[in-house]
Amino acid sequence: MIPRRLDRLTPLPLDKKPEVPTHPGYHAAGARDRPDTIFSAEFQRRLRRHIARHLVLYETTSRPPRFLCIQGNPGEGKTETVQVVCSRDGVDVIIVAAAELAGATENAGVEALERLSEAVRLISQQHRRPLLVLFDDFDLSSVARLAATEYTVNSQLLTQYFQFIADTGALRTADGLSAPIVMTGNDFTPMRSSLLRPGRADFFSFAPSFDEKVAIVAALLAIPDRTAVRPLVWEHRHEPIAFFSALKTSLSDQTLDAVIAKHGLDVPAIQNVLTDTSQRPADLAHLRALALRAANAGAVPQNFLTTARVSCPGK
């Protein structure tokens, strides 16, 4: 008998390995550890206390507030600070955007939370690290009762489920502990009062002091002398941290324009110039000029829908 050729044999199907449990907003501890980032000491204290409440068994039996609601003006770095503090302290983070809680079908928000609960359990089981859930821009979610939006059955079910999470300790890790939950937002007043009542939520209004803002901006712009930064911050003390971060981008853009004009899109040349520039202290006079220009431009926002058309010469 002629043996069958081996290359004609059909291999038996192998069992697929289970997919690694994950979530689109998952960030492992250490992934956001930026040593140059400075933040409010009070912010760090409140956040770490909230996490500790849910990690220590003694505290969990006393049913601490389930949510830490951090409210503040846009662009002050609330979400970034939560990520950096957790990253440095060895805490994983799952960021849930407000849009994830919306859906076209009834009960879509609750189903999203149920999927999140499973992700929390599986991720914590795999990595065996503390895990925090961050609902970013929660005041823009379908839970909010905004005048411009319709409060639907889906919103009511979602609010009820969040109250269930607060009262029962649901959304647990593989160790059976309630995952600490943080909610960031600019204005929580549209929320149902029963959801964020005392006992369910702990509120922290974040507004960095002038000295804290000076320290943050100095670190952001890599300027060792904080005293030299004070005039810049004072002149724009009402601007958020994001305003000063944009100045750093504006400096980089000007450098990019110059090197591209000289070398074109020569990536190694661009990389060398940017690396060299980043190692030199920024010109504060230049930064103040950029800041003044940005503040003046921001005073009258451009309406792109009504921008005047430029006619062609000769017509």
133 and 96 co-located in one domain: yes
275 and 137 co-located in one domain: no
| pLDDT tens-digit readout, 35-94 | 667 788 899 999 999 999 888 765 556 788 999 999 988 888 899 999 999 999 999 999
Pick 307 or 256 by higher pLDDT: 256
Domain contains 228: yes
Domain contains 9: no
Mean per-residue pLDDT over the chain, rounded:
81
Q: What is the pLDDT of residue 88?
A: 92
- Sorting pLDDT into bands at 50, 70 and 90, what band is 256? confident
123 and 49 co-located in one domain: yes
189 and 226 co-located in one domain: no
Q: What is the pLDDT of residue 4?
A: 47
* CATH number of the domain where residue 72 is located: 3.40.50.300
The DSSP secondary structure of the chain, one letter per residue, reads -PPPPGGGSPPPPPPPPPPPP--TTEE-TTTT--TT----HHHHHHHHHHHHHHHSHHHHTT---SEEEEE--TTS-HHHHHHHHHHHTT-EEEEEEGGGG--SSTTHHHHHHHHHHHHHHHHHHHH-S-EEEEEETGGGSTTS--TTS---HHHHHHHHHHHHHHHH--SB-TTSPBPPEEEEES--TTS-TTTT-BTTEEEEE----HHHHHHHHHHHTT-S-HHHHHHHHHHTTTS-HHHHHHHHHHHHHHHHHHHHHHH-S-HHHHHHHHHHHHTS---HHHHHHHHHHHHHHHHS---TTSPPPPPPTT-
* pTM value surpassing 0.85: no
- Sorting pLDDT into bands at 50, 70 and 90, what band is 307? very low
* CATH number of the domain where residue 216 is located: 1.10.8
Domain contains 123: yes
- Kindly state the average pLDDT of the residues 114-129: 93
> Does residue 311 carry a pLDDT above 70?
no
226 and 174 co-located in one domain: no
- Among the candidates 143, 173, 205, a domain finishes at 205
